[in-house]
Amino acid sequence: MDYGPAPESQKEAQAWLEQRSRKFGLFIDNEWTSPGETFACYNPADGSQLAELTQASAVDVARAVTAARKALPGWQALGGHGRAKIMYAIARLMQKHARLFAVLETLDNGKTIRETRDADLPLVARHFYYHAGWAQLLDEEFPGHRAVGVVGQIVPWNFPLLMLAWKIAPALAAGNTIVFKPAEFTPLTAMLFAEICQQAGVPAGVVNIVTGDGRTGEAIVGHQGIDKLAFTGSTEVGRIIREATAGTGKKLSLELGGKSPFIVFEDADLDAAVEGLVDSIWFNQGQVCCAGSRLLVQESVQDRFLKKLKARMDNLRLGSPLDKSMDIGALVDPIQKQRIAGLVDSARAEGCEVYQPAGCELPATGSWFPPTLITGASTSAAVAQAEIFGPVLVAMSFRTPAEAVQLANNTVYGLASCVWTENISLALDMAPQIKAGVVWINTANQFDAACGFGGYKESGYGREGGREGMFEYLVPVSEDARPAAPSFKKPAKPDTEFTPSADPFAVDRTAKLYIGGKQARPDGAYSRAIHGADGKFLGEVGEGNRKDIRNAVEAAHKATGWTKATAHNRAQVLYYIAENLAARGAEFAERIAAQTGSKNAEKEVQASIERLFYWAAWADKYDGLAHQPPMHGITVALNEAIGVIGIVCPNENPLLGFISLVAPAIAVGNRVVAVPSEAYPLSATDLYQVFDTSDLPGGVVNIVTGSADELARTLASHFDVDAIWRHDGSAAGCAEVEKLSAGSLKRTWTGGAKGRDWFSTAQAGGRVVLAHASQVKNIWIPYGV
């Protein structure tokens, strides 16, 4: 017995296109422009032209931004309930027209109607319902925050409508207005959504939709009137956007590529794992950023599992996406087909075994590629490292859980992963060790609006969905009150007469670097003199260089025990540091006064002690969340340490500023390479003995003195630094850090040309700072199945 044809009618979708003469303008300020320069979009299944779309110019984008800016006060004045009602109307209309959306999406994208109808559209409606709730609760649940402003959003072609919902729903709920660009390959459901906005009563200018190729996206990215950019797409383009936005002050979230591991242990339900793998890699023809494209199977069951997998592949049905009995549809474009074929050919040339079902016949027209399994690839092979973005699975084996973790993390990406085992203890032990933003246990490709989604490493930063996704579209109001960065001048009359003591036994007053829990001489063997506010010579500090940073980063990576330590243990150490600092409070106050000329040095020391207590208190209270998505199970959102953070500290309040940045970072388990105040570094170097007597493990805090610009440049370029913070008031320096961070797409937190009131926890404390020091991992745990 075989499946009979079960075609979905495309009559209504084609009629909708005909009613609009198969030609679309831009949707700006709630009106359609006349079509200008156009480009065509095609049905990937047969190559037929569906419609013509307008190529938006920089002038068009500027008009859209102007409309969004003009609409912003009115949209915010509606209040949470007013926005919630409109978003609820959008959700209801999406459900009402779900079949039209599903068919149009299948025609435009090539994915099967089963996926658009049963997966994409229900999730789209869910996002608008869920975020209508956040709009209603905004003032209560996000106190002290405001909307970012005008948001530019750019989405890819693999989930055109779902990505639209992921982006637009939270932005609207937070009170922002939007300039949205769909992918040029798949713009049609965005055109239909524009009509939904009109029907739902979205005010003019709140949602603007512009179509076009990369030139349109470039115009959005470069427009000065955009306050935040949200981009989903390739890692390469993500890097370009990060560089382009450096120093502009634009808030940025990036959801980029992936090379997700699908790990199968010997005790797993192998049949269930095979079905999960089918959903993971051949869903949407593998054109999924979180596709389980790397199969890691335990060696003892490898042969048995691959045999089952090949048998399942032989039964996959490939054909017309509108046929409800099909498993695999068409690739989005011939260019994508050529790229996939090239990578598979490279695997053959390297001697890999390539398995494709013998009975899988490809249609004569359109863009098609058969389900493919590659074995025998080395871990460094192109197919094992590159994001193929197609129906291609690369399989390799492992022997132990430790080896599985090593293989899983052997990638520049960190978007998602799957763990299959009947041993829940093993699964929950594996999940925190895998460097990925999402871990599915005994399931795959689960999504929900309440559960955040986003990656680690070169898979980007920021989250979409859940509470954490809302913060991407909000700004703390305390940021509006930040002062201008104070300027610093060298002492008017430095003590140039200073010469070393003639006493050969005089104590050398050169403060060394602090690396791996030990004082270390600078690699370059140079030092710089530090003079007080009155010009008096106070001492010398080492002139750190690139090699010193390298040594400090290596020491930080060795201190992984700190990340694995309990939050209670980390809190105790912070309390000890505060206690030992208090014992030497007068000494530290005297040092601050000598360096800065401050008349309130005792106040700064006391504030520093209190700040250590503050972050010690937070250390064991910054808990995650347990979500209850619409599945038989839970999703646990863990706040995880980022890893190694480079911190360039402020010049103002040299002790308090240092502690206000370093303490929260280590409180949640990070290790730090800190560059203290360039002008007043002795307040940080005096902490060496405090750390040594406070049970702080070596390598958790490393201090390298010297030029803030030079050391920040090295930290931002270092591929083993996971994030960099810079708060020394240098606008040019912050812009450079952001630009250099694009190399490894590390997270950044920079102060720009503004200072910060370090005495205020509103500006230097709370969950806002902790969010910069952590990343959310969502672990999906089904039960009873």
Q: pLDDT digit string (tens) for 151-195?
A: 999 999 999 999 999 999 999 999 999 999 999 999 999 999 999
Alpha carbons 667 and 164: distance in angstroms, whole number: 37
> Residues 515, 516, 519, 525: what is their CA dihedral angle, to the nearest 10 degrees?
-40
Which segments of 559-653 does DSSP mark as H helices, in order?
Answer: 560-564, 567-583, 585-596, 601-619
Closest CA to 759 of 650, 603, 596: 603
Contact 522, 512 (CB under 8 A): yes
Contact 354, 344 (CB under 8 A): yes
φ and ψ of 571, to 5 deg: -60, -45
Half-sphere exposure of 243 (CA within 13 A, CB side): 12
Mean pLDDT of 713-738: 97
In this structure, of 138-142, 241-245, 356-360, the range with the lowest mean pLDDT score is 356-360
In the structure encoding, which two tokens stand for residue 554, read together? Answer: 């290596």
Mean pLDDT of 725-749: 97
Three-state secondary-structure class, residue 682: helix
In the structure encoding, which two tokens stand for residue 783, read together? Answer: 């039960």
Judge whether residue 507 has pLDDT over 70: no
Topology of the domain comprising 11-232: Aldehyde Dehydrogenase; Chain A, domain 1 (3.40.605)
Contact 392, 383 (CB under 8 A): yes
> For position 505, what pLDDT does the model report?
52
Contact 779, 638 (CB under 8 A): yes
Sequence ranges of the domains in the chain: 11-232, 261-454, 519-624+641-775
Question: In terms of C-beta density within 10 A (0-12 exposed, 13-18 middle, 19 or more buried), how is residue 510 classed?
Answer: middle
Half-sphere exposure of 732 (CA within 13 A, CB side): 3
Give the pLDDT band of residue 1 (cuts 50, 70, 90). Answer: low
Three-state secondary-structure class, residue 244: helix
Per-residue burial over 289-302, b = 16 or more CB atoms within 10 Å of its CB, e = otherwise = bbbbbbbbbbeebb
What is the DSSP secondary structure assignment for residue 120, as one 8-state letter?
I
In the structure encoding, which two tokens stand for residue 630, read together? Answer: 């619409």
Contact 146, 474 (CB under 8 A): yes
> Residues 460, 461, 465, 471: what is their CA dihedral angle, to the nearest 10 degrees?
-160
Which segments of 246-301 does DSSP mark as H helices, in order?
Answer: 270-281
What is the DSSP secondary structure assignment for residue 458, as one 8-state letter?
G
Q: What's the maximum distance between 2 C-alpha atoms anywhere in the chain?
A: 100
Alpha carbons 2 and 169: distance in angstroms, whole number: 42
Half-sphere exposure of 601 (CA within 13 A, CB side): 17
* Amino acid symbol at 695: D
Alpha carbons 768 and 342: distance in angstroms, whole number: 45
Alpha carbons 437 and 515: distance in angstroms, whole number: 30
% residues pLDDT > 90 (the chain): 95
Judge whether residue 501 has pLDDT over 60: no
Alpha carbons 147 and 176: distance in angstroms, whole number: 6
pLDDT tens digits, 524-571: 999 999 999 999 999 999 999 999 999 999 999 999 999 999 999 999
Alpha carbons 154 and 163: distance in angstroms, whole number: 9
Per-residue burial over 739-774, b = 16 or more CB atoms within 10 Å of its CB, e = otherwise = bbbbebbbbbbbbbebbbebbebebbbbebbbbbbb
Mean pLDDT of 632-636: 94
Average pLDDT over all residues of the chain: 95
Alpha carbons 552 and 675: distance in angstroms, whole number: 11
Active-site residues, by number, are: 255
Give 540's strand partners. Answer: 510, 529
CATH annotation of 261-454: 3.40.309.10
In this structure, of 50-54, 214-218, 750-754, the range with the lowest mean pLDDT score is 750-754
SS (H, E, C) 368-389: CCCCEEEECCCCCCHHHHCCCC
β 416-420/261-264 pair status: parallel
> For position 489, what pLDDT does the model report?
62
Contact 782, 627 (CB under 8 A): no
Contact 529, 700 (CB under 8 A): no
Alpha carbons 677 and 697: distance in angstroms, whole number: 23
In the structure encoding, which two tokens stand for residue 321, read together? Answer: 């996406």
In the structure encoding, which two tokens stand for residue 274, read together? Answer: 């095979």
Mean pLDDT of 192-208: 98
Q: Same fold for the domain at 11-232 and the one at 519-624+641-775? A: yes
User: Distances from the Cα of 555 to the Cαs of 457, 544, 720, 748, in angstroms?
Assistant: 20, 15, 11, 21
Alpha carbons 114 and 328: distance in angstroms, whole number: 10
Angle between the 160-174 and 98-109 helix axes, to the nearest 10 degrees? 130
Contact 777, 436 (CB under 8 A): yes
pLDDT tens digits, 430-444: 999 999 999 999 999
Task: Quote the CATH superfamily of domain 519-624+641-775.
Answer: Aldehyde Dehydrogenase; Chain A, domain 1 (3.40.605.10)
pLDDT tens digits, 430-486: 999 999 999 999 999 999 999 999 999 999 999 999 999 999 999 999 999 999 888
Alpha carbons 617 and 443: distance in angstroms, whole number: 37
pLDDT tens digits, 659-695: 999 999 999 999 999 999 999 999 999 999 999 999 9
Contact 624, 637 (CB under 8 A): yes
Which segments of 650-730 does DSSP mark as H helices, in order?
Answer: 654-667, 682-685, 688-692, 708-717
> For position 147, what pLDDT does the model report?
98
> For position 3, what pLDDT does the model report?
76
State the CB neighbour count (10 A cutoff) for residue 233.
22
Ordered DSSP codes for 521-570: --TT--EEEEE-TTS-EEEEEE---HHHHHHHHHHHHH-HHHHHS-HHHH
pTM listed for this prediction: 0.95
Ordered DSSP codes for 309-349: HHHHHHT--BS-TTBTT-SB---S-HHHHHHHHHHHHHHHH
Alpha carbons 85 and 91: distance in angstroms, whole number: 10
> Residues 345, 346, 348, 353: what is their CA dihedral angle, to the nearest 10 degrees?
-110
Radius of gyration of the chain (CA): 28
pLDDT tens digits, 312-327: 999 999 999 999 999 9
Contacts 24+ apart (CB under 8 A), 768-771: 768/476, 768/478, 769/664, 770/618, 770/622, 770/639, 770/664, 770/667, 770/668, 771/468, 771/471
Ordered DSSP codes for 731-759: HHHHHHHHHHGGGTT-EEEE-TTB---TT
Mean pLDDT of 609-635: 95
In the structure encoding, which two tokens stand for residue 361, read together? Answer: 């016949």
Residue 518 host element (H or E): strand 518-520
> For position 631, what pLDDT does the model report?
86
State the CB neighbour count (10 A cutoff) for residue 319.
21
- Residue reference for tokens 């993390």: 409
Alpha carbons 250 and 228: distance in angstroms, whole number: 5
> For position 497, what pLDDT does the model report?
47
Cβ-based neighbours of 444, under 8 Å, separated by 6 or more: 262, 276, 277, 279, 280, 292, 418
Alpha carbons 638 and 622: distance in angstroms, whole number: 10
